[in-house]
Amino acid sequence: MTDDTKPVPEARAKPAAKPAVLTGVKGMNDLLPADAHYWEMVDEAVRDWTRGYGYQQIRTPIVESTALFARGIGSATDIVEKEMYSFVDALNGEHLTLRPENTAGVVRSVIEHHLTYEGPRRLWYFGPMFRHERPQRGRYRQFHQIGIEAIGFEGPDIDAEVIAMAQRLWDDLGLDGLQLELNSIGDAGERLAHRAALIDYFEQHLDQLDDDSKRRLHANPMRILDSKNPALQTLIEAAPKPIDHLGTASRAHFEGLQQLLADLGIPYRLNPRLVRGLDYYNRTVFEWTTTMLGAQGTVCGGGRYDPLVEQMGGKSTPACGFAIGVERLIELLREQGEAVASAACSVYVVHQGQAAGRLAFRSAERLRDAGLDVILHCGGGSFKNQFKRADASGATLAVVIGEEEAARDEAAIKWLRSDKNDLTQHNVQQNVALADLPNTVLDALYRSNEEGHGLRS
Ligand code: HAM
């Protein structure tokens, strides 16, 4: 017999499975706070630098139609053949792609909005690009580029200007060890002659070509020249060079550029093998490389792309530009031990008690009104713990509002960063009426800066 009075034990509830930790997508990195100051420094440098040459910012969407890149970059390039994040929009069937680069997008926008209607344009951008490459140091699936596009200029002066710009950015950022490599790949007709010579040459060495190169032999033989396959390098080394097929105008353009670079004192190395991996280039091509970053040492690449505007449906318009890989640039800053001041706030407000908490909130806003950077302690806790946080924040001084200070409408100012030689001055606590707080703090920080206590300006 069963005993009905006995409580039936409840089925033991199974502990809910702990959700698995989700991780980011391979090759797509988080920009963590510890590195933010590098990015901010580059961001600021870029704003001053582009202004210094009269370039205007353009921001185009990250997603563009897939056809844009096939037409712009070239269907037989590595990027278009195997590196694009392309998808069909499930809602309307559109074929879309996360931009692998931004020259095609900028040219699309320039044409669509008639930006060169009133004359040439100097443009710049900074943003993420996406390429499905094998990730390694300096090579990511999401990376960032700073790009310069000068659209509507014909002569070698603009080529020299953009190259001088890059040189100035390295100087502004305190970078050295970057080498400029330069080449001219000629105009359409000259490229056709070079192409015929290349096909001829590679056909004679068909047995040495890999499958990729065989496939490209007739579609786009110049792409064989930037093959990374080590087994092909000797063959590529001896292949016909674009520079041997330059006509008078292309040669004069290239010489004009070299003259201007010599005038500016910008050193370069002629590299007849440099062809770049995108199809829109003609005449000048260049890269800045370093040996400090391992295999991915190209920090910046660019050149002229006179055919592109017309190829994208616009009126024939000459153009020139480059893009810098920002992750590589920052890695180089780090390699060269470029000291970057982290942007700590000046003031940390600690408080205890309800009335003090409300006053602290208002005081922090008044301090910000005065132009100060302020962290207000949130989440309570003992003064000891709040001071630990204040110290860790890197702030220069703490504003303290406890119950006693609140009752007197006052705050105390306490230095967090004391000069070891001057402990007396910097460890004292000073009480001040709340109404005078912003001025007193400003004054104290100013005086402290003047005295060279290493405080932020
Ligand atoms: P690009 O040579 O393909 O040119 O890229 C420019 C720079 O972007 C490279 O030199 C490198 O620093 C960086 N980069 C490229 N791929 C990656 C990657 N997977 N991970 C990290 N960094 C990378 C262009 O994109 C052209 N749109 C440049 C241009 C502008 N030409 C004329 N105007």
- 138 sits in the region (left: phi over 0; alpha: psi -120 to 50; else beta) called left
d(CA 302, CA 285): 6
d(CA 431, CA 329): 47
The answer as to whether 41 is a domain residue is: yes
Using the predicted structure, report yes or no on whether residue 374 has a pLDDT greater than 90: yes
Domain that holds residue 74: 33-187+247-335
Atom in ligand 1 nearest the alpha carbon of residue 323: 28
Residues 270 and 369 in one domain: no
| Residue to substitute in 145, 175, 311 for testing ligand 1 pocket (most ligand atoms within 8 angstroms of CB) | 145
| Residue to substitute in 144, 278, 305 for testing ligand 1 pocket (most ligand atoms within 8 angstroms of CB) | 278
CATH code where residue 297 lies: 3.30.930.10
Using the predicted structure, report yes or no on whether residue 397 has a pLDDT greater than 60: yes
The answer as to whether 422 is a domain residue is: yes
Q: What confidence tens digit (pLDDT) does each residue in 347-373 have?
A: 999 999 999 999 999 999 999 999 999
* Structural domains counted in the chain: 2
Report the separation in Å between the CA atom of 216 and the middle of ligand 1, taken as the mean of its atom positions.
22
Which H helix or E strand runs over 98?
strand 95-98
The answer as to whether 159 is a domain residue is: yes
The answer as to whether 23 is a domain residue is: no
Residue 7: per-residue pLDDT: 57
The answer as to whether 92 is a domain residue is: yes
CATH code where residue 359 lies: 3.40.50.800
59 forms beta bridges with none
Q: Report pTM.
A: 0.89
DSSP 379: S
The whole-number average pLDDT for the span 124-142 is: 97
* Tokens of residue 416, six digits: 């967090």
Residues 353 and 439 in one domain: yes
Q: What confidence tens digit (pLDDT) does each residue in 75-94 have?
A: 888 899 999 999 999 999 99
412 forms beta bridges with 400, 431
Residues 331 and 356 in one domain: no
Using the predicted structure, report yes or no on whether residue 415 has a pLDDT greater than 80: yes
Q: What confidence tens digit (pLDDT) does each residue in 254-284 have?
A: 999 999 999 999 999 999 999 998 999 999 9
Using the predicted structure, report yes or no on whether residue 41 has a pLDDT greater than 80: yes
Q: What confidence tens digit (pLDDT) does each residue in 283-337 have?
A: 999 999 999 998 889 999 999 999 999 999 999 999 999 999 999 999 999 988 7
Rg (CA), the chain: 30
**Residues framing ligand 1 (Cβ under 6 A):** 101, 103, 131, 133, 138-140, 143, 145, 147, 149, 277-278, 298-302, 305, 321-323, 325, 327-328
Residues 317 and 375 in one domain: no
Residues 321 and 426 in one domain: no
Residues 54 and 108 in one domain: yes
Which H helix or E strand runs over 405?
helix 403-407
Residue 341: per-residue pLDDT: 64
What residue owns the CA closest to ligand 1's atom 16? 139
| Residue to substitute in 58, 143, 286, 289 for testing ligand 1 pocket (most ligand atoms within 8 angstroms of CB) | 143
Residues 296 and 381 in one domain: no
Query: What is the pairing mode between strands 410-415 and 429-433?
Result: antiparallel
Residues 318 and 284 in one domain: yes
Residues 324 and 442 in one domain: no
Report the separation in Å between the CA atom of 341 and the middle of ligand 1, taken as the mean of its atom positions.
28
Residues 141 and 268 in one domain: yes
Residues 354 and 324 in one domain: no
What residue owns the CA closest to ligand 1's atom 13? 325
| Residue to substitute in 78, 129, 133, 151 for testing ligand 1 pocket (most ligand atoms within 8 angstroms of CB) | 129
The answer as to whether 296 is a domain residue is: yes
Report the separation in Å between the CA atom of 457 and the middle of ligand 1, taken as the mean of its atom positions.
36
For the chain, the average pLDDT equals 91
Q: Give the pLDDT band of residue 454 (cuts 50, 70, 90).
A: very low
What residue owns the CA closest to ligand 1's atom 8? 325
Atom in ligand 1 nearest the alpha carbon of residue 138: 21
* Tokens of residue 73, six digits: 């970059």
The answer as to whether 209 is a domain residue is: no
Residues 48 and 119 in one domain: yes
| Chain centroid, CA 12 distance in Å | 54
Residue 1: per-residue pLDDT: 40
Final residue in a domain of this structure, among 274, 307, 335: 335
Whether residue 261 contacts residue 158, with contact meaning beta carbons closer than 8 Å, is answered with no
**Cα distances (Å, whole numbers) of residue 448 to 394, 420, 425, 444, 451:** 16, 14, 10, 6, 5
d(CA 405, CA 356): 8
Query: What is the pairing mode between strands 282-289 and 269-270?
Result: unpaired
CA dihedral (165, 43, 27, 103) in degrees, to 10, reads: -50
Beta strands in 168-240 (DSSP E): 179-184
What residue owns the CA closest to ligand 1's atom 18? 139
Residue 346: per-residue pLDDT: 93
Angle at 365 between CA 361 and CA 371, to 5 degrees: 150
Atom in ligand 1 nearest the alpha carbon of residue 102: 27
| Residue to substitute in 131, 298, 332 for testing ligand 1 pocket (most ligand atoms within 8 angstroms of CB) | 298
Using the predicted structure, report yes or no on whether residue 457 has a pLDDT greater than 80: no
The answer as to whether 96 is a domain residue is: yes
Q: How many other β-carbons are positioned within 10 Å of the β-carbon of residue 117?
A: 9
Report the separation in Å between the CA atom of 144 and the middle of ligand 1, taken as the mean of its atom positions.
9
Atom in ligand 1 nearest the alpha carbon of residue 145: 8
Report the separation in Å between the CA atom of 355 and the middle of ligand 1, taken as the mean of its atom positions.
56
